[in-house]
Structure 1
Amino acid sequence: MTTGTAPTRDLLSRFESLGDENRLRILTLLDRNEFTVSELVSVLQLPQSTVSRHLRVLADDGWVRRRSEGKTRFYRMESALESGALELWRVTAGTLAGARWAADDAERAQSVLAERRERAVAFFSESAAEWDALRDDLYGSDARFAALFGLLDPEWVVGDLGAGTGTLTDMIAPFVKWVVAVDRSPEMLAAAAVRLGERDNVDIREGELESLPVDAGELDLAVLMLVLHFAVEPRRVLAEAARALAPGGRLLILDMRAHDREEYRETMGHLWLGFTEDQMREWTRLAGFEAYRHIPIAPEPEASGPALFAATARKAD
């Protein structure tokens, strides 16, 4: 005899919660936008205690949901209403368009939302000069670039050639199938092993860039990040990268443009004072690459080193 009692009671409760004009006003607003209690108070021109009481009723009956951001609570119409409740609300909402309060509530709601937007605009207007530094302070200087690794094919095997302490490998690894990190310095690789210890898709290998410990065609992408100027024979490095890449595989280079800072040979062990576009274009062609692109990178104001370039190419099929 009790079969169906709970659903019936639930339906009755739904009807009862819609039997108050202020609750209908609240639901109409929350069906269109998300609001805080204080914003609803401003729109409805009702005491906060009254708005809070109605929200509790609507929440208990499953009409609205709440989410928190810090100390702020936002309310919105429940997006997963069961079919009976959804149809009930559609019928009800259809009769409310001409309600005496509908236009006034909608106008005040737009004012509240406009004020919310203006607060964000004001923040950015006041913070424009410091925004980059503030963003870096909040999220780290690499955060804006890290998401770009999501453009990599998740099935790729990537070679970080001249991996050093594994900074780039650590950033790439979450986005691809496998990373082969190669460096000739045991000390650098020891530091990389510590950094990459929890990565289960990284292979650290000691070896020379001119004679990579990588099988032919093993890589889908080869990255040479600020390492080519340390190579005795950059052309051999590029030829080895081509050998290690599968047909159609990609090459990415970041390095210095040609410069005249001779002291770098002594102070930092640089063997090449950067590279010209003509050099890189010819060397990559001879190594078996095509579709070479050379992009000068504008130096950052605080950077003290030479200007950089980025280059991409594809191994011929």
Structure 2
Amino acid sequence: MTAPRLPIHDHMTELADPTRGRLLAALERQELTVGELALALQLPQSTVSRHLKILLDQGWVASRAEGASRWYRLHSALNARMQALWTLVHEAFVHTPVALQDAARLDAVVQARRSTTQSFFASASAEWDALRSEMFGARADLSALLALLDPTWVVGDLGCGTGALSAALAPHVHTVHAVDASPAMLSAAGARLAGLHNVQLHDGALEALPLDDHTLDVAVLMLVLHHVPDPLRALREVQRVLRPAGRVLIADMRPHAQERYRETMGHMWLGFSEQELQRWLHEAGFEVVRYTALPVDAAASGPAMFSCTAVAVPAPSLVLA
């Protein structure tokens, strides 16, 4: 009487050819193309392709297409029988001279990839900034950094203008309160922010914010404080709407002598020094003030800028006698 053929027998047949074991050992270490496998194992591409098809059809290998290339790797979800069999085969194969030679050539193939990348950057380093901007935009790196924001935060874009910053912040935080006192700016912001359901538009001035106490985790004043007649009053309002230990970020101009901005753009302040901003922030109820002069963009025609952050001091608790 012939014994029944078990599923494990089929898997044993699939790994009976030593070439397929070599392929799996390589693909367990590294995702590779057919050409790279042929180079590492010193086999014709037709042989590699034939054995890969068997392994792919039987679920030993997974693949993905990327551009004109197809990449192969050991399947990440082998069933228990396949995993046990592969562990047995791998342990018997891994220290053989053939396996050690395959591993050394595989290291050389991967290093060749790095060499290609290094050669590119060696020749393109002088033009890399311009090339990256051309391919991905001048602010791609800064936009990506917004993902570091806490997704539970409620953020105030105070003096939001046309809503560009609110639109950038919205995908990364819980809620954005966009506040501006100009009907024209709010109209433009409304058009830009349409469809962003976590952005709320408010009509209001910095000195009288239309927000309840302790609403915000973060308040951003981007190029707006120089339009405010009384910055200290405005900063006290910002402190009011921030939660205890909430943060304010101010980005504005360093002191300059461009008087024409008063007439042409309604500027009330020709920039802010570190000393006066620190004094106002401390008086308004902030601590841990950090003022940083920002690098000057050679293509920009306006004054140099700074960023300043500070932490809202929690209000003292009332102690009843």
TM-score (norm 2): 0.93
Q: What is the deviation of 1:14? A: 1.4
Look up the match of 1:64: 61
> Quick one: distance in 2 between partners of 1:100 and 1:213?
75
Match of 1:17? 14
Per the TM alignment, residue 303 of structure 1 is displaced from its structure 2 partner at its CA by 2.2
Instruction: Say whether 1:195 aligns with 2:192.
Output: yes
Asked whether 1:177 is paired with 2:174, we answer yes
Superposition pairs for residues 278-289 of structure 1, below 5 Å?
A: 278-289=275-286
Structure 1 counterpart of 2:207: 210
Q: Deviations over 1:142-162 (max 9, x none)?
A: 221123223322222111001
Q: Aligned equivalents of 1:149 and 1:194: distance in 2?
A: 22
CA contact (8 A) 1:180 1:202 kept: yes
Q: Give the C-alpha shift of residue 12 in structure 1.
A: 2.5
Letter in 2 for 1:135: R
- TM-score, normalised on structure 1? 0.94
- 1:115-154 deviation per Cα after TM superposition (whole angstroms, max 9, x unaligned): 1111111111122112122222222222211232233222
- What corresponds to 1:127 in structure 2? 124
Residue matched to 1:308: 305
CA distance in 2, matches of 1:116, 1:155: 41
Q: Which runs of 5+ in 1 are unaligned?
A: none
Equivalent residue number for residue 231 of structure 1: 228
Corresponding letter in the other structure for 2:205: E
For the residues of structure 1 that align with 2:97 and 2:284, how far apart are their CA atoms? Answer: 77
Aligned length: 311
Unaligned runs of 5+ in 2: 315-321
Counterpart of 1:95 in 2: which secondary structure? helix
How far apart, CA to CA, are the structure 2 residues paired with 1:150 and 1:211?
Answer: 31
Q: Does 1:116 align with 2:113?
A: yes
Q: Which amino acid in structure 2 is aligned with residue 68 of structure 1?
A: A
Task: Give the Cα separation in 2 of the matches to 1:201 and 1:235.
Answer: 30
Deviation at 1:19, TM superposition (A): 0.7
Question: Residue 42 of structure 2 corresponds to which residue in structure 1?
Answer: 45
Give secondary structure in 2 for the equivalent of 1:164.
coil
The 3-state SS of whatever aligns with 2:90 is helix
Distance 1:217 1:107 in 2: 62
Match of 2:242 in 1: 245
Distance in structure 1 (CA, Å) of the matches to 2:215 and 2:40 = 63
Is 1:36 aligned to 2:11, yes or no?
A: no
Q: Deviations over 1:21-66 (max 9, x none)?
A: 1111111111111110111111222221111110000011111110
Q: CA deviation at 1:216?
A: 1.6
Query: Following the alignment from structure 2 to structure 1, what is the Cα–Cα distance between the partners of residues 28 and 124?
Result: 34
Q: Look up the match of 1:91.
A: 88
Q: Which amino acid aligns with 2:124?
A: S
State the AA in 1 paired with 2:27. Answer: L
Match of 1:82 in 2: 79
Separation of aligned partners in 1, 2:166 and 2:258: 29
Query: Structure 1 runs of 4+ off > 3 angstroms?
Result: none
Q: Is the 8 A contact 1:13 1:61 kept in 2?
A: no
Q: Is the 8 A contact 1:223 1:253 kept in 2?
A: yes
Match of 1:294 among 273, 291, 296: 291
Farther-moved stretch of structure 1 (263-272 vs 184-193): 263-272
Partner of residue 167, structure 1: 164
CA distance in 1, matches of 2:54, 2:111: 28
Q: CA RMSD in A?
A: 1.5
Cα-to-partner distance string for 1:221-267 (whole Å, 9 max, x where unaligned)? 11101111111221121111111112221111011111112222223
